Amino acid sequence: MDEYLTVSEAAGVLGLSVHGVRKRIERREMTAVRVNARLWLIPRPEVERHQALGRLSPGPKKGTPRRRPVKQDETEGTPP
C-alpha cells in the first residue's frame, strides 16, 4: 500500500488542503483510483510529479476579476 497515498496524505505532502487535492482529481489534473464512494488513492509517482511541478500555490483563477478596495467618502466620518 506504500505505492498509493490517501487524499489526506497527498495533501500533507503537497502542502495543499484536502479540498484542493480533491478539486485537482475532479478536474483531472491529478490521476487517482476510486476504491469506494469515499476513498480515493493517488499513486505516489503522481504526487511526486505534482511536487516537482511546483505550481501548487493557491491564487485567483484565470479570468477572475480582482476585488477592488471600497473607497470611503472623504467627508464621511468628519463631524459637521
pLDDT surpasses 80 at 67: no
Asked if residue 80 belongs to a domain, the reply is no
Residue 33 C-alpha from the chain's centroid? 19
Q: What is the distance between the alpha carbons of residues 78 and 75, in angstroms, rounded to a whole number?
A: 6
Asked if residue 35 belongs to a domain, the reply is yes
Quote the pTM value: 0.64
What range defines the domain where residue 47 resides?
Answer: 4-53
Helix, strand or coil, per DSSP, at residue 58: coil
Q: Give the model's confidence band at 59: pLDDT under 50 very low, under 70 low, under 90 confident, else very high.
A: low
The rounded radius of gyration (Å) of the Cα atoms in the chain is 20
Identify the pLDDT of residue 21: 94
Asked if residue 58 belongs to a domain, the reply is no
Identify the pLDDT of residue 43: 96
Asked if residue 14 belongs to a domain, the reply is yes
CA distances from 66 to 20, 56, 62, 69 (A): 21, 20, 10, 10
CA nearest to 50, candidates 1, 5, 37? 5
Mean of pLDDT values over 20-35: 93
Asked if residue 68 belongs to a domain, the reply is no
Asked if residue 79 belongs to a domain, the reply is no
Q: Give the model's confidence band at 65: pLDDT under 50 very low, under 70 low, under 90 confident, else very high.
A: low
Asked if residue 45 belongs to a domain, the reply is yes
Identify the pLDDT of residue 52: 86
Greater model confidence, 61 or 8? 8
Total number of domains in the chain: 1
Asked if residue 30 belongs to a domain, the reply is yes
